[in-house]
Amino acid sequence: MTERIVYNIIQVLVVVAFAPLVEGVTSRLKEILQSKRGPSIFQPYRDIWKLLHKDEIVSEHSSWLFRAAPYVAFAAPVFVALLIPVLTRYPLFFAFMADMLGVGFVFALGGFFASLAAVDTANPYGPMGASRTRMVGFLAEPVFIMVFLTISFVAGSTIPYIVQTHWVTPIANFFEPSHILLLIAFLMLILAEDGRIPVDSPSGHFELAMIDHSKSLEYSGRGAALMKWAGAMKFFVLIIVFINVLVTPWGLAKGTDVGEVLLAIPLVLFKMFCFVLVLVYIESSLAKLRLFRITEFIGAAFVISVVAVITRLSEI
């Protein structure tokens, strides 16, 4: 029992500690692929460290929402990290609290507070970004529902620990068309949800074109550091859900041995590195879509998830 609690805390610490690194590696790889040198992979750590030591300025016209939002946004992925299989194949102490739908709700809570805070300051760019994020969000919603429906239909459960073992027992399950189609649809959702290239440019600095990133423009000092860190952790956790729950549980610890759990950390990071390579390739080879083309992108994801359900239905 105690070791499960300890592992659970280790799991959260891994998410908190390595999230900026994954973001740094992603941006560095992208620059390298585009024939540039790019910043060090530790740059996000330095940014967060610098921001934490700066003064925080809060507009006097803003309410408590503005001050509370970074903490909520930071807490949401930390809480999610308690629930999902980051390092182990078996449920840890706190995993009973929620299934994958619960994970979705916790994420939605963080996003909701970030949007409210963006509207709160009445900075012209904040509400614009917030409303666009909501637009992408409600377009993505039916796809999420279809994807989760398919997962629960195919794997017989929405609990991530049951879902992940389903794909590899037997191994033929891995090649099931519904599984592969789910992966494609969910990958498109990650791109939309995290503001990656075909939907939004994560490295853009042009406020009028921003979707996801203009929400945190008003923050400075500690608030900005927390928002940045929270963004990195959300990215990290989304990748974890994708590679560990939806792709395969390979590399995760099977036993309760301490060494095995610690060994899972580099293996999971390697899996994430492979995922980031694919992501960087997608981001470098596509152009950002215009705002009203996003419906087409997400519409395609929706149809793919519908096809996943249908192919599954036909096999019975």
Partner 1 sequence: MSGSPVLFALDALTGALFLLTALGVVATRQVLASLQLFILQSLLLAFSALLLGIAQGSVHLLAVAAITIATKTLLIPWLLRHTVSAEIYRTREIERVLNIPSSLLIAAVLIVLAYVVATPLLGTAAVPFARINLPLGIAAMFLGTFTIVARREAVPQLLGLLGVENGVFFAGAAIVPNLPMIAELAAAVDVPAIALVIGMLTRRIHTRLGTTSVGELASLRDH
Binding-site ranges for partner 1 (CB under 8 A) = 170, 172-178, 180-181, 184, 295-296, 299-300, 302-304, 306-308, 310-311, 313-315
Residue position matching structure tokens 């925080």: 56
d(CA 304, CA 309): 9
- Report the alpha-carbon distance of residue 152 to residue 313 in Å, rounded: 13
Supply the minimum distance, in Å, between the C-beta of residue 133 and partner 1: 20
Cβ–Cβ < 8 Å for 268, 87? yes
Nearest CB to partner 1, comparing residues 1 and 316: 316
Distance in Å, CB of 111 to partner 1, minimum: 23
What is the C-alpha separation between 316 and 310, in angstroms, rounded?
11
Minimum distance between the CB of residue 307 and partner 1, rounded to whole angstroms?
6
Find out whether the peptide bond into 198 is cis, omega within 30 degrees of 0: no
Cβ contacts of residue 202 below 8 Å, gap of 6+? 194, 195, 196, 212, 213
Between 106 and 304, name the residue whose CB sits nearer to partner 1.
Answer: 304
- Please name the residues in contact with 103: beta carbons below 8 A apart, sequence gap of 6 or more: 80, 83, 84, 160, 241
Least distance CB 27 / partner 1 (angstroms): 28
Of 1 and 172, the one with the shorter C-beta distance to partner 1 is 172
- Closest listed residue to residue 136, CA positions, set 214, 66, 203, 75: 214
Cβ nearer to partner 1, comparing 226 with 308: 308
DSSP helix/strand/coil, 253: strand
234 or 312: CB nearest partner 1: 312
Query: Between 257 and 296, whose beta carbon lies closer to partner 1?
Result: 296
For the bound state, the minimum distance from the C-beta of residue 172 to partner 1, rounded and expressed in Å, comes to: 4
Q: Which residues contact 301 (CB under 8 A, 6 or more apart)?
A: 140, 143, 184, 185, 188, 189, 192
- From the list 66, 56, 60, the residue with the least C-alpha distance to 225 is 56
| Smallest separation, CB 168 to partner 1 (Å) | 13
Q: How far is the CB of 178 from partner 1 (least distance, A)?
A: 8
Tracing tokens 């729950």 back to the chain, one arrives at 245
Q: Between 170 and 259, name the residue whose CB sits nearer to partner 1.
A: 170
DSSP H helices, 34-124, are: 43-52, 64-83, 100-120
